[in-house]
Structure 1
Amino acid sequence: MRAPTLAILGAALAALVPLVMPAPAIAAQTNYTLDPLHTSVYFGASHFDRTTVRGRFGKIDGRIIYDPATGAGSLDFTVDTGSVDTGNRTLDGVLRSDQFLDVQNNPYARYRANHFVVEGGKLVAVDGDFTLRGVTQPLRLEADRFSCGQTVLFGVHHDVCGGDFHATIRRSAYGLTRFLPDVSDNVTLRIAVEASPGQP
């Protein structure tokens, strides 16, 4: 075989290499399902500027799409407003009434976000929209901590992402004006989220 022929054959093989070599792996976003046993939403509001009234919501459902490699993702979760629990049945009844959460007409609050704020390789905040009593307002959740990794429970390995977040909302922006200003307009939210890979 002549040298020119060998050169042509070599060039042809070189051109084929990118077609037959496996492509590098592309980081893929993963669907995570919230673990209701380790996900909670707590709230607090000042009462006559002396004490803080606190409570929680016990029923939360949602999905997270997240790529730990890039920090990109989105989330969508709902809170059953009827599950409000302050430890005081009378107060819970008032909060469920049309004076506040209006559970009968607005059984769910919803938070949707598609912008995860990453700094120095760490998730520091999530920007999204919060809907309460049919009113939607932008809301940023600040991350106190967030990480992904494996946990071992009863000898079984689980992939888990989770963290603690906080935010402050003005309840009057959602039409909750009853008892202002004796009960403060600002309501603090503290949210603990834990999720594992699940179905889309």
Structure 2
Amino acid sequence: MTSETTATAATTALPLTAGRWAFDPFHSAVGFTIRHLGISKVRGRFDKLDASLVVGETLADSSITATVELASVNTGNADRDAHVRASDLLDVASRPTMSFRSTRLAGAGEDWTMEGELTIGEVTRPVTFAVEFGGVVDVPHDGSKHAGFEATGEIRRSEYGLTFAPGLLGEVVKIHLDVQFIAPK
């Protein structure tokens, strides 16, 4: 991408109404995948997520933030979830949340990129998500307008101080978000 293209993408108007869009927690989810023993994947999700979408007149004026309660981890196995919350893994007593703040949005049509900073505990690192814009739809029963997004990215867990059991658990954690926001009235 040339600097001219980058500048144009940063000032492009979004196909969304300007303002603060409300997060729809009932139609949103954050999931993850990590390799176990290098031969299979463990999938899970976090059940408590909050997010904010502020749409400006351009991409440069728009932002996304999100916070996940790490204690809400759910892999479908209560014993494993208790271990993931413990001090040798997520240590939710000292790292209660994971948060994201966008620093740059770019794209057009259905395909977008969201760059930002992901914080787990005291560690903040840059991360990039590929974002698919699902579109905007009017909800017939209440007249609200919803926008949907799917975002995927990955982090290296050791960069956040999550170093338990290398070889047992993979280094790369893939993150997958499906989120909906409701247009301002």
TM-score by length of 1: 0.78
Quote the residue 1:110 is aligned against: 99
Structure number with larger C-alpha Rg? 1
- Matches for 1:4-23 after TM superposition, within 5 Å: none
1:157 is paired with a residue whose SS is coil
Aligned residues: 169
1:146 is paired with a residue whose SS is strand
Among 124, 132, 135, which residue is 2:120 paired with? Answer: 132
Over the aligned positions, Cα root-mean-square deviation in angstroms equals 2.0
Unaligned runs of 5+ in 2: 1-15
How much does 1:30 deviate?
Answer: 1.4
Quote the residue 1:97 is aligned against: 86
TM-score by length of 2: 0.84
Quote the residue 1:169 is aligned against: 155
1:167 is paired with a residue whose SS is strand
Contact 1:150-1:157 within 8 A present in 2 as well: no
Quote the residue 1:60 is aligned against: 49
Quote the residue 2:136 is aligned against: 149
List 4+ stretches of structure 1 deviating above 4 A: none
Contact 1:71-1:118 within 8 A present in 2 as well: no
2:144 is paired with a residue whose SS is strand
Amino acid at match of 2:84: L
2:139 is paired with a residue whose SS is strand
When residues 127 and 133 of structure 1 are mapped into structure 2, their CA distance, relative to the original with a 3 A threshold, is same
1:130-156 Cα distance to aligned partner (Å, 9 max, x none): 00122100011111x214423324x22
- Return the alpha-carbon distance in structure 1 between the equivalents of residues 145 and 20 of structure 2: 12
How much does 1:113 deviate?
Answer: 0.6
Q: Does 1:182 align with 2:168?
A: yes
- Return the alpha-carbon distance in structure 2 between the equivalents of residues 32 and 156 of structure 1: 16
What is the identity percentage for the equivalent residue pairs of Structure 1 and Structure 2? Answer: 29
Amino acid at match of 1:132: I
